[in-house]
C-alpha cells in the first residue's frame, strides 16, 4: 500500500506538532492516532519529564488506549515524525493499532542525534519489531525525510 492523501495530511500536521514540541522546549517529536474514518483520536508531543518512556508515540497510544480497545484500534493509524523506536513499536503492537506511517527513518535520526545522551537512539527498524508479532502491522515510511529533518536542525549535540 502507498501513502494516501489523508496520510500526507496527517504527516503535515504531525511534522508541525514536532516543531511545536521543540518550540515549547521539548524534544522535537510528535505522534497522532487516527481512526480508519479519519477521526483524530489522540495527539501528543514528547514530554520533558522524569518519565523517560514518555515518547510522543507512547503518549498518543496511551491516550488512544484509554478510549478504545485493540479491536477498535485495529483500523487506526499511528502517525509519527520519526520511525517508532523498539519501545513505541511494542506499544503500537500492544495497543492494537494496525498501521504506522512515519516521516524520518530511525537510521536518519541516529545520524542527527549521534551519541547525544539526550537521545541515545535505539536503532532497530520498527518493521523488525512488528515482524515478531502474532498479527501483521502495516508500515509506510520513510516519507518526506528532508522536511522531517527540519525540526531537528541544530537541536542535538552529537
Ligand atoms: Zn519511542
**Alpha carbon of 143 to ligand 1 centroid (Å):** 18
Tell whether the model's pLDDT for residue 49 goes beyond 80. no
Distance CA 43, CA 34 (A): 9
Name the pLDDT band for 121 (thresholds 50, 70, 90).
confident
Tens of pLDDT along 77-114? 999 999 999 999 999 999 999 999 999 999 999 999 98
Distance CA 96, CA 51 (A): 23
Active site residues: 57
**Alpha carbon of 91 to ligand 1 centroid (Å):** 9
Distance CA 76, CA 99 (A): 6
**Alpha carbon of 9 to ligand 1 centroid (Å):** 22
Tens of pLDDT along 50-84? 888 999 999 999 999 999 999 999 999 999 999 99
Residue 72 in grid coordinates: 477498535
Amino acid at each position: 500500500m502507498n501513502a494516501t492523501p489523508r496520510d500526507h495530511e496527517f504527516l503535515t500536521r504531525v511534522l508541525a506538532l514536532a516543531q511545536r514540541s521543540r518550540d515549547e522546549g521539548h524534544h522535537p517529536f510528535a505522534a497522532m492516532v487516527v481512526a480508519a474514518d479519519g477521526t483524530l483520536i489522540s495527539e501528543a508531543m514528547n514530554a520533558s519529564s522524569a518519565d523517560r518512556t514518555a515518547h510522543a508515540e507512547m503518549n498518543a497510544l496511551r491516550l488512544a488506549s484509554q478510549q478504545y480497545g485493540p479491536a477498535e484500534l485495529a483500523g487506526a493509524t499511528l502517525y509519527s515524525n520519526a520511525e517508532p523506536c523498539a519501545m513505541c513499536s511494542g506499544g503500537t503492537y500492544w495497543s492494537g493499532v494496525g498501521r504506522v506511517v512515519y516521516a524520518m527513518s530511525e537510521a536518519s535520526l541516529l545520524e542527527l542525534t549521534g551519541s547525544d545522551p539526550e537521545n541515545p537512539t535505539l536503532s532497530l527498524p520498527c518493521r523488525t519489531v512488528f515482524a515478531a508479532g502474532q498479527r501483521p502491522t502495516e508500515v509506510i515510511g520513510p516519507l518526506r525525510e528532508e522536511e522531517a529533518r527540519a525540526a531537528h536542525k541544530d537541536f542535538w549535540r552529537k
